[in-house]
Amino acid sequence: MKQHLLSALTLALVASVAQAETTTAAAAGAGAAAKSAKAPVLSSGIATEYIEQGVRPQDDFFEYLNGKWLKNTEIPADKASWGSFMELRENTLPRLRGIIEKSAATNPAAGTDAQRIGDFWASFMDEARLEQLGVAPLKGELDKIAAIKDKSELPAVLARLGKIGVGVPFDFAIHQDNKDSTKYVADIMQGGLGMPDRDYYLKADDKKLADTKAKYLQHAEKMLAMAGDKNAAANAKAIVDFETEIARVQWTKVELRDPVKAYNKVNLADMDKVAPGFDWKSWFDAASLSGKASYVIVSQPTYLKSFVDVSNKTSLDTWKAYLSLHLIESYGSFLSKNFVDERFDFYGKTLSGATEIEPRWKRGVGAVERAQGESLGKLYVAEYFPPEHKARMEKLVANLLAAYKQSIDKLDWMSPATKKEAQAKLAKFTPKIAYPNKWKDYSKLVVKRDDLVGNVMRSRVVEADRELDKLGKPIDREEWGMTPQTINAYYNPEMNEIVFPAAILQPPFFDANADDAVNYGGIGAVIGHEISHGFDDQGAQYDGNGNLRDWWSAADHKNFKAKTNMLVQQYNGYSPLPGYNVNGELTLGENIADNSGLAIAAKAYKISLKGKKAPVINGMTGEQRLYAGWAQVWRSKMREPAQIAQVKTDPHSPGQFRANGTLKNQPGFYEAFKVKQGDKMYLAPKDRVIIW
């Protein structure tokens, strides 16, 4: 399943969890509506206490609206960043902990969701046992790696390690065939690096990245030594050199965004022609693809060919050291304290800038969620999600789709024929709201109170088998790619669906006690954002059935490309840190979705007024509250190492540019706040990018 996410923060940095009723500072200005004898008085939904009056909204709207929050908020020591998404997550953790501990304490029947959740939690929280065990839970797998006698064994080893979640140089995922969305297919993709991106290995002229690479070498040596490797220093150097060569032949993050170049259909029998010199039959057999699939998709064929060359030049000893390290890294968070602390020292402190590790119970909640997310989600929804929020959200989605339809009709740069295709795609959009109609079945997962590593390993195998089992079967259109407690949203081009988990339906995204304006600027723009992914530079290459098909005329595509090139140049000019600019190509899809999503939300809000004048609340007009609602969603701060990682790897722009960069292109923003030439938020009309 390919997803275009609203935000990468919750997935990249933490386990995704959320709450249904806000207790956060983000909602401080949007409490329960005061009641009158006649009718409820709705709040503005804007956290006015964070407004910095010393900053003109016409010069820096993000700073104006969030200035006091930015000035007075410290990023928690155990976090790489802090903002609306993280606030909601943090305030929901106790609720999820309560659900989990209830399961752990009630001695439920064996084989029930409650037993699996409770025993998984108990195994994670038993620190004394984990200290006694040390690296012993991995001894069986480490011994298998050490026993490899010849490179001919590598294909089977790579397949087995990939199945238990170990990062290897290539692996596969199951999703819909991009050119036949009625079928599932296995997609082989590059991987296998221990750092976030190839630039961390190759940019020797960037001192910060070079320093990080040196620290990664030290980290690798320590992890190997703690696991009993007598040649840890030499092996660590060989591993980093090996990963550097892998990085050298990998596709860049920008190249990975092209779905046409990534669609390479190959019969299993023909894989030797794509990447000769590797025993593909053995790998297909060990990966359980033989007999289940007649063909695969090879997303990065040039990488795979070059990787085989790199592999053949690499010694077996280096391979064994590499696989051992990646196994230990994959399970290090579930071992004794020395492994946990060393992993945090590099991945937490060095890569993200956090200074303290999260309390163990918070990490335990995340571990349970990753293993049994929908089981936990089902209990969460039953206890905390207000059903009436779903009905209101359905109405908002319908309004946004209607506004999008009107907007397409009025485009002056698109021909009638292409408009007709766009409308046909829009008509086939499938919204999914709050939680799935059908929950995942975890009955095959065996969970033991005294076997944390085994629990994690078995949970990964169950999920891998669940995915493999899709091959040859009809598409499951009820499946969700996120849990209900995830604070995020996504668009899936192959399903042509927009998905909004329950947890995002709360302030500052959605406030049931607020006037409509802030909700259109928050969740309305989020809805518009996800719809717009269907028409961004990637999504626009798929039709309404989820197939990769060119439905554009040459002239329309040229017009679209001209507009998106302008957006690339705009965002290339934004810099969150000296020497580190936003990559306008990497972030293009998200920037299109932000800009178009907010524009459509503004149109939908006007439609919702039905010609009536919006009320003024807290001195703000309806239009002003809409744009304020947008800007407060992106209220955030980030540590420098995490900011560097974001610029290098994240297809989303930093929060301040998602707020201000988008607003600069909105005609309604100029009208609402009387922005004029000479103001810092001003762009000349010819430089504003309006696509949808």
Domain ranges across the chain: 4-48+387-436+480-687, 139-334
Which residue, 546, 535, 484, 527, is CA-closest to 629?
527
Instruction: Give the Cα separation of 283 and 296 in Å (integer).
Output: 13
User: Quick one: what percent of the chain has pLDDT higher than 90?
Assistant: 91
Query: Tens digit of pLDDT for each residue in 179-226?
Result: 999 999 999 999 999 999 999 999 999 999 999 999 999 999 999 999
Q: What is the pLDDT of residue 236?
A: 99
Q: How many CB atoms lie within 10 A of CB 38?
A: 6
Query: Tens digit of pLDDT for each residue in 627-659?
Result: 999 999 999 999 999 999 999 999 999 999 999
Helix (H, G, I), strand (E, B) or coil at 182: strand
Instruction: Give the Cα separation of 60 and 536 in Å (integer).
Output: 27
Question: What does the buried/exposed string (b/e) look like for 263-278 if buried means 16 or more CB atoms within 10 Å of the residue's CB?
Answer: bbebebeebeebbeeb
Q: What is the pLDDT averaged over residues 434-447?
A: 97
Helix (H) or strand (E) holding 63: helix 61-72
Query: Tens digit of pLDDT for each residue in 546-567?
Result: 999 999 999 999 999 999 999 9
pLDDT surpassing 70 at residue 26: no
Instruction: Give the Cα separation of 87 and 26 in Å (integer).
Output: 7
Average pLDDT, the chain: 94
CA torsion angle for 452, 458, 462, 463 (degrees, to 10)?
A: 60
Bridge partner list, 90? none
Q: What is the pLDDT averaged over residues 12-19?
A: 30
Superfamily of domain 139-334: Neutral endopeptidase , domain2 (1.10.1380.10)
Q: What is the pLDDT of residue 24?
A: 27
Q: What is the pLDDT averaged over residues 565-583?
A: 97
C-beta separation of 48 from 618 below 8 A: yes
Q: What is the pLDDT of residue 43?
A: 87
DSSP string, 573-638: T--SBTTB---TTTTHHHHHHHHHHHHHHHHHHHHHHTTPPPPPBTTB-HHHHHHHHHHHHT-EEE
C-alpha distances in Å from residue 550, one per residue of 260, 298, 559: 10, 21, 15
Q: What is the pLDDT averaged over residues 292-297?
A: 98
pLDDT surpassing 80 at residue 518: yes
Instruction: Give the Cα separation of 499 and 519 in Å (integer).
Output: 17
Q: DSSP secondary-structure letter at 293? A: B
C-beta separation of 162 from 171 below 8 A: yes
Query: Tens digit of pLDDT for each residue in 610-622?
Result: 999 999 999 999 9
- Phi, psi for residue 60 in degrees, rounded to 5: -155, 90
Q: What is the pLDDT of residue 41?
A: 58
Query: What pLDDT band is residue 10 in, cutting at 50, 70 and 90?
Result: very low
Instruction: Give the Cα separation of 320 and 145 in Å (integer).
Output: 6
Query: What pLDDT band is residue 38 in, cutting at 50, 70 and 90?
Result: very low
Q: What is the pLDDT of residue 32?
A: 31
pLDDT surpassing 50 at residue 37: no
Contacts of residue 23, defined as CB under 8 A and 6 or more positions apart, other chains included, come to 91
Which residue, 497, 215, 466, 491, is CA-closest to 353?
215
C-beta separation of 558 from 513 below 8 A: no
Question: What does the buried/exposed string (b/e) look like for 180-191 if buried means 16 or more CB atoms within 10 Å of the residue's CB?
Answer: ebebbbbbbbbb
DSSP string, 237-273: HHHHHHHHHHHHHSPPTTGGG-TTTT--EEEGGGHHH
Q: Which CATH class is domain 4-48+387-436+480-687?
A: alpha beta
C-beta separation of 157 from 325 below 8 A: no
Query: Tens digit of pLDDT for each residue in 381-435?
Result: 999 998 888 998 999 999 999 999 999 999 999 999 999 999 999 999 999 999 9
Which residue, 127, 598, 627, is CA-closest to 341?
127
Q: What is the pLDDT of residue 128?
A: 98
Q: What is the pLDDT averaged over residues 115-133?
A: 98
pLDDT surpassing 90 at residue 493: yes
Say whether the peptide bond before residue 578 is cis (omega within 30 degrees of 0): no
C-beta separation of 17 from 501 below 8 A: no
Q: What is the pLDDT averaged over residues 364-373?
A: 98
Instruction: Give the Cα separation of 592 and 529 in Å (integer).
Output: 8
Q: Which two structure tokens, joined as six digits, stand for 672?
A: 């609402």
Query: What pLDDT band is residue 40 in, cutting at 50, 70 and 90?
Result: low
pLDDT surpassing 80 at residue 22: no
Query: What pLDDT band is residue 104 in, cutting at 50, 70 and 90?
Result: confident
